[in-house]
Copies of this chain bind each other. A is one copy, B any other.
Amino acid sequence: MIDEILVPALANKAAYLKDLIELCAIPSVSAQPDRARDVQYCSLWLSEHLRDIGLKADAMETGGNPVVFAEWKHPDPTRPAVLIYGHYDVQPADQNEGWTSEAFKPAIRDGYLYARGASDNKGQFLAHVKAVQTWLKAKGSLPVSVKFLIEGEEEIGGPHLGPFIAAHRDLLACDVAIISDSELQCRSAQPVITHGLRGLAYFEVEARTAARDLHSGSYGGNVQNPIMALAQLLSGLKDDKGRVQVPGFYDDVRVLDAVERADIARLPWGEAHLISETGAPAAFGEPEYSVAERRGARPTLEVNGIWGGYIGPGAKTVLPAVATAKISCRLVPNQDPQKVYDLVRNELLRRCPAHTTLTFRTFGMSAGTLIDLDSPQIRALARAAEATYGSRPLFALEGGSLPVVNDLQKHLGKPIGMLGFGLPNDNIHAPNERFALECYEKGIEASIRFLGEL
């Protein structure tokens, strides 16, 4: 029966590719003020496109870049509603950084569409749009209610989406939300459903030892050095194997069950992959866990930045008054960001070197996310993925955070299905971003099947 939808999708693939090319040609770079008109235009193009295929659609005010909202209401109100998230803004693209073809003149080579935004995120969300279009064209209706929420500030961490979601709970109300965004990945025939994201506690600690910068000749050896004090503080936070040494840090960490460990072991995130991706000579971290486990299932403490004293070229004999470090902890579900921050802060205060004053500043506290794999909607997504890609999806715990996931969970309280359509080597956020034509087609198929499975 689903073939009634899949066959016309295949028949239309040239037209669907043309739509993607048209969308990718719009330089909707949210970070560049001189692209503001392009960003606006992109939201209007999308709204019109969604109306053209039969949805009620609008570019809605947010105080920042518009959110494109579109809806198709099933006549039977007992049918479930799916909210599909995407973002139409893209990363900047500097032609001089090594683009083979122009970033906003989409080009097809070797089975890939090359363009900024092709994979992140235009190609991925448009696959869902094309699935909806196919259903509507073939059957005149969708099997469920569908809503699209396509924002224009994802690449600038824009502050407007959270408040928008909070202010439009009724409009956005759904039974499941679906996200196919860049952080998620499949490889060849192996789909991956992300069912956990890490949270974050991000803060800054400033160590001060004097009222002003001093001359190291006159005062060196006589005043506490804030860089040394900070180094001594930081060095005690981890042991030489990378284990965090803050008492209580790991207390609330959820223990993986056997199925999770088995799935994680099948992810292509081993040491060899890590080395080739990072250029590090070897993986480094808690020896009791695998690379893939450490990536998503273990909390981290990393220093993200440090500065103090003279940082220009050559020599300046300054004994600085202040040194500062930015520190963040990635947190697994169950861990409370505020509690972890307090543990680390108290440990730093407890071990504070002599004659050093510490000042703290927090920048972000978000809890981790864990999606219930047993919900019927996530099971439907898994069936759709397996039918499309030919193998059961792996369930992965991802290392990063997605603010939109936190916002959706908080305000809508429904399961979130994260199934990526891109490949790890799509060069997102880099020159020669691309999206495999096959990924686009498979994404359309997966979305068609998912709507049918619900």
Chain A: residues with CB nearer than 8 A to chain B? 183, 198, 200, 202, 209-212, 214-225, 227-228, 230-238, 240, 242, 274, 277-286, 291, 294-295, 298-300, 302-311, 314-321, 323, 325-326, 328, 330, 353-355, 357, 363-364, 398-401
CA distance A382 to B299 in the complex (A): 67
Q: When the two chains form their complex, are residues B304 and A223 in contact, meaning their CB atoms are under 8 A apart?
A: no
A222's partner among B214, B216, B291 (CB-CB below 8 A) is B291
Q: List 28 A-B contacts (CB under 8 A).
A: A200-B317, A202-B317, A210-B278, A211-B278, A215-B400, A216-B300, A217-B400, A220-B302, A220-B399, A221-B294, A221-B330, A222-B284, A223-B280, A224-B242, A224-B280, A225-B303, A227-B303, A228-B303, A231-B231, A231-B306, A232-B235, A303-B308, A304-B310, A304-B319, A305-B320, A311-B326, A314-B363, A317-B400
**Cβ of A224: which chain B residues have Cβ within 8 Å of it?**
242, 280, 284
CA distance A279 to B326 in the complex (A): 25
Q: What 15 new A-B contacts, CB under 8 Å, besides A227-B304, A281-B355?
A: A202-B315, A210-B279, A212-B279, A214-B278, A216-B330, A217-B330, A221-B294, A221-B330, A223-B283, A231-B233, A232-B240, A284-B354, A304-B310, A305-B310, A317-B400
Interface centre among A200, A281, A302, A321 (most CB of B within 10 A): A302
| Copies of this protein, total | 2
CA distance A294 to B217 in the complex (A): 11
Q: When the two chains form their complex, are residues B305 and A306 in contact, meaning their CB atoms are under 8 A apart?
A: no
Which 10 residue pairs are nearest across A and B when measured between Cβ atoms?
Answer: A211-B279, A217-B400, A305-B309, A221-B300, A315-B363, A235-B235, A231-B234, A305-B310, A227-B303, A220-B300
Measured CB to CB, the nearest residue on chain B to A224 is B284
CA distance A238 to B200 in the complex (A): 33
Q: When the two chains form their complex, are residues A228 and B220 in contact, meaning their CB atoms are under 8 A apart?
A: no
